[in-house]
Amino acid sequence: MESALELRRRIAAGEISLDSYYEALLSECESAKARFNCLTAITNQLAMATVERLKTNMKNDRPKGRLFGLPVVVKDNICLRDYPTTCASKILENFVPPYDATVIGRLIAEDAVIIAKANMDEFAMGSSNENSAFGPVLNPHDITRIPGGSSGGSAVAVAAGLTPMALGSDTGGSVRQPAAHCGVVGLKPTYGAVSRYGLVAYASSLDQIGPLACDVESAALLYSVIAGHDERDSTSAEISICDYPAEMQKSVKGLRIGLPREYFGDGLDGEIRTSIEAMIAQMKFEGAEFVDVSLPHTEYAIATYYIIADAEASSNLARYDGVKYGLRAKNDDLLSMYTNTRHEGFGAEVKRRIMLGTYVLSAGYYDAYYQKAMNVRSILKREFADVYKVVDVLLTPTTPTTAFKIGEKSNDPLEMYLSDIYTVSANLAGVPAMSVPIGRDGKNLPIGLQLTAKHFDEAVLFRVGKAVERLAK
């Protein structure tokens, strides 16, 4: 897939006709939807209405937005007015939001063309995209394998060439994991960098919307459009958007790159280790300096994450009671309406998490689990802060293995949770992290490398990511 910038240039210059491009693309979406189950809806009407507006703008020589004419696919937990936002759940199957998420408003303001909503794990709970109420998403590199979750549909849309850019959300790895498994770039921004207004909440202190893209440059472009303060999200930060294209011109010379030893222990696939080592050697040759560092509490990250995420989820999902949104089950009285709706509407994984979350928040267990997890979270955060006094960026694998077979881990939730080992810490600490493809394993499956930086230093991720991308070619 050509980069977003090149595609925009050709569309803006009139080298590609918007009409024929989108006519072909929307039918390609239909076929990708059938082959990979990656989309929940194709937004034909919105796309064609946008195309009409852009054509009029071109005709009248009006200024063109930074995403002029570029197709974008949006994860189905981000509200898009007048189209269902299902979160891949039966409980929201018929929920049509009357408003746009802030990120949607920003895409439209820059003349992007939204072509589809992407399939995902139900309520973004999952690592493999097998938890969708609409069936699993298939990896285009091998359709017997998972694409990674929970933003699997968004990653597949990019990997299948439907779009150079898509939006996902990342609570514990859901942008980076599918990016790694599908061979695309995925960024989890710093907590607070991108507005969550209009993102259906899973675990509010961890959730961030982030770009998936065919290359680092396209990810940077999309990030620069969606990032920035929003008065409708009280956790959104005032940030300055750097000149990312200029950052991406710089080499890695003189940068200090940390290798946290806890991320290279047992359990890391041998081929992933070898390709990361080869990349490190190339980066040394370009003048980067590597430093061995330690984040000793990493071993508690999974337990900490699943306690906090499930606790927040159990509270956030209390709103689906048959009264306010979506599904309302048959009932005889108020209580049976609540219970039947939740029983019928939620899938098994969502129910498991609501129960776990309710348990760790209950009076007798709060101190033993939730409070303890919050304490560990503070320690992890401090460990990251300390390490960034010594290094500019951390380099790790994104996932312990390449894409596994559909069904391989679905009966063992603990095993599934362990596949998040390298991604959850960034969410707990709130720092930005990006997955960049660095090659393939012996089965020809993509391998991802993860870069993590200090709060609000997305610039260094784009800079190092661009170098990694070039060296991986």
Task: Give yes or no for residue 147 binding ligand GLN (CB under 6 A).
Answer: no
Whether 174 contacts 146, CB under 8 Å: no
Q: Please report how close the Cβ of residue 322 comes to ligand GLN at its closest, in angstroms.
A: 25
Q: Which of 65, 105, 126, 357 binds ligand GLN (CB under 6 A)?
A: 126
Active site residue 275: no
Q: Cα separation of 320 and 339, whole Å?
A: 10
Per-residue contact track with ligand GLN, 86 to 125, x per CB under 6 A? --------------------------------------xx
Is omega for the bond preceding 410 within 30 degrees of 0, making it cis?
A: no
Q: Which of 137, 257, 309, 459 binds ligand GLN (CB under 6 A)?
A: 309
Q: Which of 171, 224, 314, 402 binds ligand GLN (CB under 6 A)?
A: 171
Residue 310, token pair as written in the block:
């499930």
Which of 89, 151, 154, 174 is an active site residue? 174
- When the beta carbons of 36 and 306 are compared against ligand GLN, the nearer one is 306
Which of 75, 90, 188, 409 is an active site residue? 75
Stretch that binds ligand GLN, among 11-19, 64-72, 171-179, 462-470 (CB under 6 A): 171-179
CB closest to ligand GLN, residue no? 174
Active site residue 20: no
Per-residue contact track with ligand GLN, 174 to 193, x per CB under 6 A? x-------------------
Listed residue (78, 87, 127) closest to 305, CA to CA:
127
Active site residue 284: no
Contacts of 85 (CB under 8 A, 6+ apart): 76, 77, 78, 79, 92, 95, 96, 97, 117, 200
- When the beta carbons of 121 and 247 are compared against ligand GLN, the nearer one is 121
Name residues contacting ligand GLN, limited to 411-430 (CB under 6 A): 420
Q: Please report how close the Cβ of residue 413 comes to ligand GLN at its closest, in angstroms.
A: 9
- When the beta carbons of 68 and 422 are compared against ligand GLN, the nearer one is 422
Q: Please report how close the Cβ of residue 177 comes to ligand GLN at its closest, in angstroms.
A: 7
Question: Catalytic residue numbers?
Answer: 75, 150, 174
